[in-house]
Amino acid sequence: MSYDRNFNNTLAIWTAFGGRGSIVLPIPTLSWTKKYYNNFGYTQYGSERQINVYDNGNAQIAVYYAKTPYMSYWNKTTKQWTVVSVPWWSHGQPEILYAADGVFIAKIVGLANIIASFDGITWHNAGYCAGAQNAMTCGAYDMDRGSGVVSWWYYKSPVYYSFDSLEERTAWTLVGSDGTSVPIFKYLTRHKGYFVGVVGGDKSIARASTSSPGNWGTTIPEDVNDTRYMFIRSINGVLFVMKFNYTNVGGDYTYYVKLCVMNDDATQITETNLSWVGDLANNNIPNPRNIMWMPDWGKFALLKESSLCVSSDGITWECLHQPGFTTSQYDTFDGAMYIPGDGFYAKASGYVYYAPY
């Protein structure tokens, strides 16, 4: 079921979710404000305002989508956002392809170089993809095996991989140049020895062992119901994905969206109790990009329209209304993080929502 903002007390929430036990913990009501690029130490470049936040588990960064040679990171000593010089970004806008497992994998828009960092302060030219015909769309990295993959949106150059150090500029290996043996990916993640991704077109899911990233197999094939998938992410050992179907009546599209958990080999999907019916560009959707692991709570947290949701297992969620945590239609929350001792952050368009906690 979808969460209704009128269900804003613990009794209503407990009843709405079937009265299963007690609330997983006292969910806090937070005070939300907006932070802009200047709050993270950046000065405006042209008319660009977009700011994004990313957490790799060890470090947090705020990325200003502009061609400026700087990066802002959360300084754990001073408890302040701090801008450092990163000459790579003077060549083009930075885009983060993967943030997890203690590593950031990024690209420079318009170039074939892969840029990597472990702490958000020092950035390395981690390699290049020779002959690539278009921009990187997504990536993933396994720190245990030292292997990484990136996917390019071009049918004869879908995947490059590398086992080389992220601190060395070496050529990544192309696989799938025949255009059929390796899928193009829309989203990628790393989960327990696998790279798992949503295949371009959003209708199937495929995986490869992180020790053999050139060999991919379909685990969830296309089905007769035209099911689609988005935003696959591994968070604290749980593999989340969003799935949806839609109807088209007289040109009016209605989307039926559910947050799901997959098993560890990405062959089965379990629906959670969070769902949404309506427009696909809506913050009521339980988007895996807005899920965080809360070490202090030992729980998962998820931010969505006017609500903070909490779960012990990622399957059963309970939510509490968050006054002031809302934005206009089509301006969707697209990435959230929690910094212990500081607070919650959630990306919107041109600003980031922040709540101290």
Q: Is residue 257 packed enough to be buried (19+ CB in 10 Å), middle (13-18) or exposed (0-12)?
A: buried
Read off φ and ψ for residue 323, nearest 5 degrees.
-60, 135
Alpha-carbon distance of 215 to 263, in angstroms, equals 20
Residue 10: the pLDDT is 34
Taking residues 224-239, what's their average pLDDT? 97
pTM: 0.91
Q: How is domain 10-356 classified at the architecture level of CATH?
A: 7 Propeller (2.130)
Higher pLDDT, 177 or 343: 343
Average pLDDT over residues 192-197: 98
Distances (CA, A) of 257 to 208, 241, 273, 285, 291: 27, 11, 11, 7, 16
DSSP-assigned beta bridge partners for residue 303: 308
**From the CA atom positions of the chain, what is the Rg in Å?**
20
Q: Which one has a higher pLDDT value, 5 or 54?
A: 54
Residue 156 above 90 pLDDT?
Answer: no
Confidence bin at 135 (pLDDT 50/70/90):
confident
pLDDT of amino acid 352: 97
Q: What is the reported pLDDT for 329?
A: 78
The predicted-structure confidence for 9-63, as pLDDT tens digits, reads as follows 333 333 333 334 445 667 899 999 999 999 999 999 999 999 999 999 999 999 9
Query: Would you state the structure tokens that stand for residue 85, as one six-digit string?
Result: 């010089």
181 vs 33 pLDDT, higher one: 33
